Amino acid sequence: AVIKRDLPFAIMREQFYLCYQPKIELGSGSAMGVETLLRWRHPKLGEIPPLEFIPLAEKSGFIFEITLWVLEQACRQVKEWQVHFPQLKLAVNLSPFLLNRKELVGHVIYILNETGFAPEHLILEVTESGLMENIETGRHILTELKNIGVQVAIDDFGTGFSSLAYIRNLPVSMLKIDRSFIQGIVENSKDATIVDTIIHLAKSLDIQVLAEGVETNHQLSLLQQMHCDFAQGFYFSKSLEAEKLKQWLEQYN
Ligand code: G
Ligand code: G
Ligand code: NA
Ligand code: MN
């Protein structure tokens, strides 16, 4: 109840902050970009996980304001990092509830202009299940985003009952294979087959593919053998606060 009561004030009271997790290009081994993840530090309750407050924000509609806040902050931050790491892309999670907000694209354009962030360096991540539930309006917004140069990635791919035949007709530039499949690829040959198949099909559709939740060297080498394009996970780094992430970039590259 406190969470619900205080959520609408969290931006104004400066209780939100962002963490960033790096994404690695497996071919070159270099950092391709970062995914930003929202954190809420409540003065009484401490750290409140997004899984607790994002659903509330979605119900109340406050997710719209939160997402724009995240986008603006992260664009400013990554723009700073791009001075030293010009290739760096920024990925922001987009709640499926926003796929039917027609004003969204106008706000995205406004924030890109205001921060001077290149649209080609922005990736918006939409979960597979969220997209499938809002397929018609989703298609419309994704097309508009593509037209302004923003990339769209399908998050948690493999969990949402879509087919690649469906994805083929959406303006999507990357699939993020859900970490539940990556977890098992070393021990479980079925998981390995699923991952290998997703990678092959994505490539044949000219869509980039990223493995989520990579935790071990063994998983990484399998993914390299499968010619996966990108990876993300604790093996490289957990999500870090801005200052720490900057240090990570400096040491990694
Ligand atoms: O890193 P973490 O435990 O915080 O992420 C938990 C979940 O919260 C993930 O599914 C992630 O996509 C989601 N999440 C984190 N930040 C945001 C955000 O800014 N917007 C939305 N919609 N979801 C987010
Ligand atoms: O749904 P989304 O992919 O946006 O969620 C990001 C979530 O995945 C965050 O909670 C983040 O902490 C978690 N995460 C990122 N990398 C790893 C990993 O290597 N292993 C595990 N178990 N979780 C991870
Ligand atoms: Na994500
Ligand atoms: Mn995911």
Distance 238 CA to ligand 3 centre (A): 13
Distance 10 CA to ligand 2 centre (A): 23
C-alpha distance from residue 181 to each of 19, 39, 159, 214 (Å): 24, 26, 9, 10
- Summarised one tens digit per residue, pLDDT across range 117-138 is 999 999 999 998 888 888 888 9
- The CB-side HSE value for 76 (13 A sphere, CA atoms) comes to 8
C-alpha distance from residue 9 to each of 13, 16, 109, 154 (Å): 6, 10, 25, 30
Give the domain CATH number at 57.
Answer: 3.20.20.450
Residues with CB under 6 A from ligand 1: 37-38, 49-51, 54, 70, 93, 95, 239
The two beta strands, 89-93 and 151-157, are: unpaired
φ, ψ dihedrals at 147, nearest 5°: -65, -30
Distance 84 CA to ligand 4 centre (A): 27
Q: What is the DSSP letter of 104?
A: H
Does the residue 252 lie in any domain?
no
State the Cα–Cα distance between residues 197 and 188, nearest whole angstrom. 14
Distance 138 CA to ligand 1 centre (A): 19
Q: Is the pLDDT of residue 167 over 90?
A: no
For ligand 2, say whether the CB of 180 is within 6 Å of any of its atoms. no
Does the residue 189 lie in any domain?
yes
Answer for the pair 173, 208: CB distance below 8 angstroms, yes or no.
Answer: yes
Answer for the pair 92, 58: CB distance below 8 angstroms, yes or no.
Answer: no
pLDDT at position 146:
97
pLDDT at position 164:
72
For ligand 2, say whether the CB of 183 is within 6 Å of any of its atoms. no
Answer for the pair 71, 92: CB distance below 8 angstroms, yes or no.
Answer: yes
pLDDT at position 1:
86
116: phi > 0 → left, psi -120 to 50 → alpha, else beta; which?
Answer: left
Identify the band that residue 253 occupies on the pLDDT scale cut at 50, 70 and 90.
confident
State the Cα–Cα distance between residues 75 and 69, nearest whole angstrom. 10
For ligand 2, say whether the CB of 95 is within 6 Å of any of its atoms. no
Identify the band that residue 13 occupies on the pLDDT scale cut at 50, 70 and 90.
very high
- Atom 22 (ligand 1): residue with closest C-alpha? 95
pLDDT at position 94:
97
pLDDT at position 160:
78
Question: Ligand 1 atom closest to Cα of 92?
Answer: 19
C-alpha distance from residue 205 to each of 112, 162, 170 (Å): 29, 15, 11
Distance 252 CA to ligand 1 centre (A): 24
ipTM of the prediction: 0.96
pLDDT at position 116:
98
Does the residue 9 lie in any domain?
yes
Which residue range(s) make up the domain with 119?
Answer: 2-247
State the Cα–Cα distance between residues 30 and 249, nearest whole angstrom. 10
Distance 247 CA to ligand 4 centre (A): 24
Q: Which of 15, 20, 37 to mutate to test the pocket of ligand 1 (most atoms within 8 A of CB)?
A: 37
The two beta strands, 230-231 and 240-241, are: unpaired
Nearest ligand, CA 182: 2
Does the residue 239 lie in any domain?
yes
Does the residue 192 lie in any domain?
yes
- The stretch 171-177 carries a mean pLDDT of 95
- The stretch 4-14 carries a mean pLDDT of 97
- Summarised one tens digit per residue, pLDDT across range 190-233 is 999 999 999 998 999 999 999 999 999 999 999 999 999 999 99
- Summarised one tens digit per residue, pLDDT across range 47-63 is 999 999 999 999 999 99
Q: Is the pLDDT of residue 166 over 90?
A: no
pLDDT at position 71:
98
Does the residue 50 lie in any domain?
yes
Q: Is the pLDDT of residue 162 over 80?
A: no
Does the residue 253 lie in any domain?
no
Domain count of the fold of the chain: 1
C-alpha distance from residue 220 to each of 60, 224, 230 (Å): 40, 6, 10
Question: Ligand 1 atom closest to Cα of 155?
Answer: 12
Q: Is the pLDDT of residue 161 over 80?
A: no
Q: Is the pLDDT of residue 11 over 90?
A: yes
Count of CB atoms situated within 10 Å of the CB of 207: 21
Does the residue 103 lie in any domain?
yes
Identify the band that residue 99 occupies on the pLDDT scale cut at 50, 70 and 90.
very high
Give Cβ neighbours of residue 134 (< 8 Å, ≥ 6 apart): 96, 99, 100
Identify the band that residue 89 occupies on the pLDDT scale cut at 50, 70 and 90.
very high
- Atom 22 (ligand 2): residue with closest C-alpha? 213
State the Cα–Cα distance between residues 48 and 52, nearest whole angstrom. 7
- Mean residue pLDDT across the chain: 95
